[in-house]
Amino acid sequence: MSIKKIFCDMVIYQAMNKKETKILLSSLPSVDSILKSDEISRWLQVYPKNLVTKFTRQTIDDLRNSILNKDVTEFDRTSILSEIHRRISSFMGFSLKPVINATGIVIHTNLGRSILSEDIMDHVKCVSCGYSTLEYDLAKGARGKRYSHVQRLLREITSAEDALIVNNNASAVFVCLRELAKGKEVIVSRGELVEIGGSFRVPDVMSESGAILREVGTTNKTHLHDYEKAITDNTALLLKVHQSNFRTIGFTKLVEINELVDLGRKYNIPVMFDLGSGCLIDLKPYGIFIEPSVQEIVRSDCDIVTFSGDKLLGGPQGGIIAGKKTLIERISKNPLMRAIRVDKMTLSAFEATFMKYIDIEKAKNEIPTLKMLLQDITVIHERAKKIYEKIKGLYELIDAAMLEDESQAGGGSLPELNFKTYVVAIKPKKITVSSFENRLRKCPTAVIARIKEDKLIIDARTVQDKEIDTLVHMIDCSLKG
């Protein structure tokens, strides 16, 4: 074939193409004609007019561009209308929506960490849907204090002299460093300069706060004398940070909090412990020995402890600062406090959560995070069995088995611990396991599960009893496509 011939063909092809595009463009309906159609007038009874107009215009514009880019070679009116409808309903549907957590990870950072119980939410609703005593003292008939509502409870359950709540633990650490150590040195072990994820890195938080990081020790070993040698007239704080999501094992040493407190006393320097997760119940009876409770840390006479509200505590997002009255008083007056304060919804959720901690047994049974972590293995077994029994009828589409497995706490809490659990392992016969997982995620009620050894794993630990029927229905729908 000659070059000339190829060139001729190309020109003819381009000419045909141009004509084709022209025809397609001229058959594009106008925005006005679409807006006048019967379907649209029906939608206008449900959706606001400006939105319908906007998405109609957008859909037509996009279609025009696709024609010009040759991405689209045919279309009809019905497909245009359904695309407009898809865009409107996807815009008008909530994006933040419930999912079924079948991962077994209790404090799942991406799925909202700790979940709140209905009766805790009752208090939130009752306080938030009307006016409240948020900053009003009924006895005096005058302005009251926002944090007074939780201080009595926090003192009782942490045994600290006083406490505050801020937006999250990151801001708790930040405001403490800012108030207690701005322009001064803070001594931290190199083994504790952690990154938690979501850009919380101890050295970065430190420099942003205006405190000067004074690293001591090595990655694997830090001794008390390392801290002592680093103390100068400019030392404002000795800081201990929970390693949270990692562990150093082998030839290691970190200084215990009581040793650090003794050193602090000797030099009259306050000691702060960023506990990260912070557990308010004694986990030892559950065979979980490694995690001292918040109360134990407070009892070690540590001056300030900070921890998250929505990790092991099982409350809403928040950061708790507990410790010595004089220091809490100082921190509470830092101008940053206003920027990181919590609103009435958070505060009421905390008040209701702390109220449960007054009776530890109640806390274990009624705070979802604790309940899921500490639930008896027979309860999980029962739940797994229920799920398994209900999907047994799908044997033409799946191989399923109930197996023993392990789940994790998550949220950087108790990282080296695996909790015995029961799972339902599903191997679809007609679709791949990854498309099964993908479909489950896109169900009307999304199911989040993990894949292991080419099977989809439903961990019964984090599936709520009331979700079982929906879960089974979603599995059924996803398999049948």
Ligand X SMILES: *Cc1c(COP(=O)(O)O)cnc(C)c1O
412 binds ligand X (CB under 6 A): yes
Distance from C-alpha of 141 to C-alpha of 288, rounded to nearest angstrom? 48
Closest among 297, 373, 347, 320 to 113, alpha carbons compared: 373
Closest among 185, 145, 178, 181 to 162, alpha carbons compared: 145
Measured from the CB of residue 152, what is the shortest distance to ligand X in angstroms? 23
Q: Any idea which residue has 């970065």 for tokens?
A: 204
Measured from the CB of residue 413, what is the shortest distance to ligand X in angstroms? 8
Q: Which is nearer to ligand X, 67 or 205 (CB)?
A: 205
Measured from the CB of residue 196, what is the shortest distance to ligand X in angstroms? 4
Of positions 34, 238, 241, 425, contacts ligand X by CB under 6 A: 241
Of positions 149, 240, 242, 383, contacts ligand X by CB under 6 A: 242
End-to-end CA distance of the chain: 49
308 binds ligand X (CB under 6 A): yes
Amino acid at site 253:
K
Q: Which is nearer to ligand X, 150 or 460 (CB)?
A: 150
Strand 235-241, strand 185-189: pairing: parallel
Query: Where does this chain touch ligand X (CB under 6 A) — which range of 10-18, 32-40, 238-246, 437-445?
Result: 238-246
Confirm if 248 and 215 have CB atoms less than 8 A apart. Answer: no
Measured from the CB of residue 455, what is the shortest distance to ligand X in angstroms? 32
Site residues (CB under 6 A) for ligand X, limited to 418-457: none
369 binds ligand X (CB under 6 A): no
Measured from the CB of residue 145, what is the shortest distance to ligand X in angstroms? 23
Site residues (CB under 6 A) for ligand X, limited to 131-190: 168-170, 173
Confirm if 211 and 185 have CB atoms less than 8 A apart. Answer: yes
244 binds ligand X (CB under 6 A): yes
Of positions 43, 55, 147, 200, contacts ligand X by CB under 6 A: 200
319 binds ligand X (CB under 6 A): yes
Query: Where does this chain touch ligand X (CB under 6 A) — which range of 16-24, 29-37, 271-279, 354-362?
Result: 271-279
Report the Cα 165 to chain-centroid distance in Å: 19
276 binds ligand X (CB under 6 A): yes
Query: Between vectors from CA 315 to CA 239 and to CA 270, what angle results, nearest 5°?
Result: 20
Measured from the CB of residue 277, what is the shortest distance to ligand X in angstroms? 6
Distance from C-alpha of 330 to C-alpha of 339, rounded to nearest angstrom? 16
332 binds ligand X (CB under 6 A): no
Strand 398-407, strand 419-428: pairing: antiparallel
Q: Which is nearer to ligand X, 300 or 375 (CB)?
A: 300
Q: Any idea which residue has 């060139």 for tokens?
A: 7
Burial of 361 (0-12, 13-18, 19+ CB in 10 A): exposed
Closest among 72, 272, 107, 252 to 179, alpha carbons compared: 272
Measured from the CB of residue 307, what is the shortest distance to ligand X in angstroms? 8
472 binds ligand X (CB under 6 A): no
34 binds ligand X (CB under 6 A): no
The residue whose Cβ lies closest to ligand X is: 276
Measured from the CB of residue 369, what is the shortest distance to ligand X in angstroms? 14
Confirm if 56 and 31 have CB atoms less than 8 A apart. Answer: yes
Q: Which is nearer to ligand X, 55 or 273 (CB)?
A: 273
Measured from the CB of residue 271, what is the shortest distance to ligand X in angstroms? 16
Distance from C-alpha of 310 to C-alpha of 319, rounded to nearest angstrom? 8
Q: Which is nearer to ligand X, 244 or 332 (CB)?
A: 244
Query: Where does this chain touch ligand X (CB under 6 A) — which range of 32-40, 143-151, 240-248, 375-383?
Result: 240-248
Measured from the CB of residue 213, what is the shortest distance to ligand X in angstroms? 15
The residues near 174 (Cβ < 8 Å, ≥ 6 apart) are: 205, 208, 209, 336, 340
DSSP sequence for 174-231: HHHHHHHHTTSEEEEEGGG--EEETTEEHHHHHHHHT-EEEEES-SSB--HHHHHHH-
Q: Which is nearer to ligand X, 104 or 412 (CB)?
A: 412
Judged by DSSP in three states, 153 sits in: helix
Measured from the CB of residue 278, what is the shortest distance to ligand X in angstroms? 9
Size of the site for ligand X (CB under 6 A): 15
Contact positions vs ligand X (CB under 6 A)? 168-170, 173, 196, 200, 241-242, 244, 274, 276-277, 308, 319, 412
